[in-house]
Amino acid sequence: MADTIKYIKEDGKPDLSRASIVDYFKTRASTLFDLPMNRDDTPVWKRLNPVPGLSEMTWTNWSFYGLGFFAWVVDSMDFFCVSASASEMAHTLGVDITEITWGVTLVLMLRSVGAVIFGILSDRYGRKWPFIACCLLFVVLEIGTGFVQTYQQFLGVRAIFGIAMGGMYGNAAATALEDQPEKARSILSGLFLPGYNFGYLLAVVFFRAFEGTYKGDQGWRALFWFSAGLPLILICWRLCHGESAAFTKLKEKRRLEANKDLEHNSSVKKLKTQVRLVFRTEWLMFIYLVILMSGYNFMSHGSQDLYPTLLVKQHNVGPDKKTVLMVVVNLGAMAGGLFFGQMTELLGRRLTIIMCCIMGGAFIYPSFFSNNLDTMTGGYFFLCFATMGAWGVAPLHLMELVNKDNRVFLSGIVYQLGNLASSASSTIEAQIGTRFPLDKNDPTSDAYDYGKVMGIFCAAVYAFMIVAIFFGPERFHRALISPDDEIEEVQDVDDNSSINLLFKQKPEVIHKDTLVFIDVSKVN
């Protein structure tokens, strides 16, 4: 792997020379098929068996994973509580349903702000207290949502909720995955992101459970008050643990650097220096990951957001049957994350994601163009299985690509920027759908051929994802915790050395597949 040094400069910046770029693109196909299953003699069935990896996990590992996973579930449930109760909230507040959905859009718009704030805090001061702060905000804001009396109050509360929600993903993913045994990470990553679907299911189920329990048609208030209790449990749970092993080692590394006079500035100046260094060396990776996560989010929003509308308007499905169908397909999505998450141990991250996109494309026709409800449901089950299968790879793939020192900030902000870019996907589909009325003789009809629009949209997004993944990097099984020898290197630095000397060292290149995407944790 020594020849990969030509992809970077002495100061850690990307080498964008023609030779480097040409060589990188020439290796895209060969690295895609450099499969983990071919690197040793381990039988296929052993690679696909998650039990040995999971058996390496300690009680603390399981507890940290549970904290991260259920934080993500609670995050999702709190978000979907508005979607599930939109019509009842609109009636209570005296506004149209479209105005309530603006509250959902507002959350999406402000999530990036939360990712920046809580990402920087989590990387600088630890995972624990930013995690608790996010959960505390959830408690306050869910209670507050249950008490709103005007539409303006509703928008204000949900705007702040968007900041809290945006701050949770990066921290929750790091809490759940960064300390786990190498062989267990793939299956755990496969379950983590589909926790979002589980949160949706909880929102739907509890909405039905609390429907009509408070002042007749204001059961939605009881739903929000109930949902405030779940993050309170997470706060108590998190208080039982200290910092993660990954952050503890990172903190020790920074302490040693400070003791060796590698940093002379105040905390604020050190933070600014760190952020500048990240974007100076990671800017190309950052741009790629924002593009990738935009594709990911277009894939999920484009295939899911308008599907309930399609069932009701195009196939006349009643509310009870619609709920059952959505529960079934979301269970299929969760199963897909687990299956393809572990499949990466056999095929690697990139090839697995591409296979998911191809499988999703194969089920576009039965999902959106069939007139038989059973056929359509079966096709959509497997389309969601494939879509969330690709999503199941994403958390670990992101963590392996970004540098260790700024993991929460970088993984959180690229995810939320991708989400922001795709937030208009359902609006785009709805607008295009108006061009395809089901009854052309009735200009007042609001029934449109959403299936055709969703099918075309999903096909385009799957194709985009295949291209983006094919030309992207992969750092399979990259160490997520700074190795002990890295800390020892810092310990051995001469007393007269400075941080500028580190800039002159050539940073570690993880794999030929990374081109100019380097591990800047070796630079700062």
Confidence category of residue 224, pLDDT binned at 50, 70, 90: very high
The pLDDT of residue 88: 86
Confidence category of residue 524, pLDDT binned at 50, 70, 90: very low
| Contact by Cβ (8 Å): 413, 119 | yes
The pLDDT of residue 462: 97
Confidence category of residue 510, pLDDT binned at 50, 70, 90: very low
The pLDDT of residue 508: 42
For the beta carbon of residue 217, count every other beta carbon within 10 angstroms.
Answer: 12
Reported as a single tens digit per residue, the pLDDT across 138-150 is: 999 999 999 999 9
Computed from CA positions of residues 61, 62, 65, 66, in that sequence, does the dihedral angle turn out positive or negative? Answer: negative
**Average pLDDT value for residue range 155-178:** 93
Computed from CA positions of residues 156, 131, 413, 197, in that sequence, does the dihedral angle turn out positive or negative? Answer: negative
The pLDDT of residue 348: 92
Can you tell me the distance from the alpha carbon of 203 to that of 80, in angstroms, rounded to the nearest whole number?
6
The end-to-end CA distance of the chain, in Å, is 22
Lowest model confidence (mean pLDDT) among 241-245, 272-276, 435-439, 504-508 = 504-508
Share of the chain above pLDDT 90, in %: 49
Helix (H, G, I), strand (E, B) or coil at 192: helix
Burial (CB count within 10 angstroms: exposed 0-12, middle 13-18, buried 19+), residue 207: buried
The pLDDT of residue 502: 32
The pLDDT of residue 503: 33
| Contact by Cβ (8 Å): 280, 13 | yes
Q: How far is CA 489 from CA 1, 4, 10, 485, 486, in A?
A: 21, 22, 19, 6, 5
Can you tell me the distance from the alpha carbon of 247 to that of 178, in angstroms, rounded to the nearest whole number?
9
Can you tell me the distance from the alpha carbon of 5 to that of 512, in angstroms, rounded to the nearest whole number?
9
The pLDDT of residue 319: 80
Reported as a single tens digit per residue, the pLDDT across 462-496 is: 999 999 999 999 888 887 776 655 555 555 544 44
The pLDDT of residue 185: 94
Lowest model confidence (mean pLDDT) among 248-252, 394-398, 457-461 = 248-252
Helix (H, G, I), strand (E, B) or coil at 402: coil
The pLDDT of residue 519: 44
Reported as a single tens digit per residue, the pLDDT across 236-278 is: 999 999 998 888 888 887 777 666 654 455 566 666 666 676 6
Radius of gyration of the chain, Cα coordinates, nearest whole angstrom: 24
* In the predicted structure, residue 511 carries a pLDDT above the cut 70: no
Query: Considering the entire predicted model, what is its pTM?
Result: 0.85
- Position 458, amino acid: C
Reported as a single tens digit per residue, the pLDDT across 65-100 is: 999 999 999 999 998 898 888 888 888 998 887 788
**Average pLDDT value for residue range 277-295:** 86
Computed from CA positions of residues 74, 75, 80, 85, in that sequence, does the dihedral angle turn out positive or negative? Answer: positive
Structural domains in the chain, CATH included, are 55-247 (1.20.1250.20), 272-476 (1.20.1250.20)
Share of the chain above pLDDT 70, in %: 83
The pLDDT of residue 344: 93
Lowest model confidence (mean pLDDT) among 98-102, 158-162, 217-221 = 98-102
